[in-house]
Amino acid sequence: MSNSPFDPSKFTAPKAKPLPVILLLDVSGSMSGEKIRNLNDAVRDMLNTFSDTENSEIEIHVAIITFGSQVTLQQPLASASTIQWHDVSAGGMTPLGMALQMAKAMIEDKNVVPSRAYRPTVILVSDGVPNDEWKRPLNAFIDEGRSSKCDRMAMAIGADADEAVLGQFIEGTANRLFYAENANQLRDFFKFVTMSVTARTKSQTPNIIPEASTIAVQPATIESRQDKKTSVTQSSSVEDEGYW
């Protein structure tokens, strides 16, 4: 009985499954100054952590779309360990609709996001109001095709962010709308996202999103901001009654 010829190609290690993370970042003119510096720092920290937590079974892939003067695929979907982040600058308007169309086209393309990939996480960060036609692209993103199955998170930066649009983006998920008015709160949000994704790389069920309460960092939310404003208003009313 003769043995089969030796074929080294039969002994390749199984390829790690990608876990896609797609960032949609508002880089409009209102993001200039401290906001854009803090955003660049937060993205860099996230990529570094993702790179350090990859294992032989799961590989975190990141794509970054920025929308401002134009909609740009700043970083094509690639393993976090291969990405060198270059700071982006702020300028222009807020073409959210076009950014959502680009993200959806990426997710629907199985050559970019293969069927074997784990459930993608899509993060939307904005400090303003969209200035293009965004309703149809947003509805299509959350209701149709593969993009509708993604986990979606959103953060409003500052009081001028369109809370209604960002809130609609996360409809149907268990996530709340996060809020940042300073560098620490922005950093906390990105830490929360990072911990949520890295927890999935260590889970027996990576397609299941961990409960927010199990994440060590709890970022500020729109609700907590509104509660704070209500508390201040009520306090002022009590003082006014005493004064008069």
User: pLDDT at position 234, please?
Assistant: 42
Would the pLDDT of 201 be above 80?
yes
Distance CA 83, CA 75 (A): 8
Q: Looking at residue 236, what is its pLDDT?
A: 38
Structure tokens at 8: 């080294």
Q: What number does CATH give the domain 16-243?
A: 3.40.50.410
Query: Model confidence over 106-146: pLDDT tens digits?
Result: 999 999 999 999 999 999 999 999 999 999 999 999 999 99
Decide if pLDDT at 243 tops 80: no
Q: Closest Cα to residue 123, out of 146, 98, 156, 85?
A: 156
Contacts of 4-7 with CB under 8 Å at 24 or more apart are none
- pTM to 2 decimals? 0.87
For the record, the structure tokens of 80 come out as: 């976090």
Query: Letter for the amino acid at 210?
Result: P
Given a contact cutoff of 8 angstroms between Cβ atoms, the answer to whether 175 and 196 are in contact is no
Kindly report, residue by residue over 38-81, the tens digit of the pLDDT: 999 999 999 999 998 867 789 999 999 999 999 999 999 999 99
Q: What is the pLDDT of residue 8?
A: 83
Asked whether the predicted pLDDT for residue 3 surpasses 90, the reply is: no
Residue 23, pLDDT > 70, answer yes
Biggest CA pair distance of the chain = 105
Q: What are the sequence ranges of the domains in the chain? A: 16-243
In the block, tokens 């959210």 appear at: 96
Backbone dihedral angles phi then psi of residue 229, each to the nearest 5 degrees = -65, -40
What pLDDT is attached to residue 229?
47
Vertex 111: Cα angle to 110 and 114 (nearest 5): 50
User: ∠ CA(193), CA(197), CA(199), 5° rounding?
Assistant: 115
